[in-house]
Amino acid sequence: MRSADIVLYIFDVNTETSTDLQHHVKIFKEASIKYLLVGNKVDGELNEHFSKYVETTDVHFISAKNHTGLPELKTLLFDQTVQGSPESEDSIITNARHYEALLEVQKS
């Protein structure tokens, strides 16, 4: 994880507590690991999940089963890795195969 450009921390919203999530966030921050929090199994009412994780900012909710929130997650992941963000370093792609793969990610 330490060598990854970004870590997707995907957790089950039905079993992960807010305290557990905050513990993982603390570990990521202490290790200077760039991360995205992704709450999965949001198959029911979304409001109950928002309130459960109100203390933890920037949780992105998806339902892999119903494909809910996946386009937004793809866009966010693309923005954070390919286009970068203000706090990230610029990346130079030196491998043609990586460049082609990134173009495919952008298309999807």
Nearest to 75 by CA among 62, 90, 92: 62
Rounded Cα distance, 6 and 84, in Å? 11
Write down the CATH number for the domain with range 7-107. 3.40.50.300
For the chain, give the percent of residues with pLDDT over 90.
25
Nearest to 28 by CA among 57, 51, 63, 61: 57
Report how far apart the first and last C-alpha atoms of the chain are (Å, whole number): 25
Q: Is the pTM of this model over 0.95?
A: no
- 35 falls in which pLDDT band (50, 70, 90)? very high
Q: What is the pLDDT of residues 50-68, one digit of tens each?
A: 667 666 668 888 999 988 8
Mean pLDDT of 68-89: 76
Q: Are 1 and 32 in contact (CB under 8 A)?
A: no
Domain boundaries, the chain: 7-107
Decide which of 99 and 64 is more confident: 64
Nearest to 52 by CA among 14, 24, 9: 14
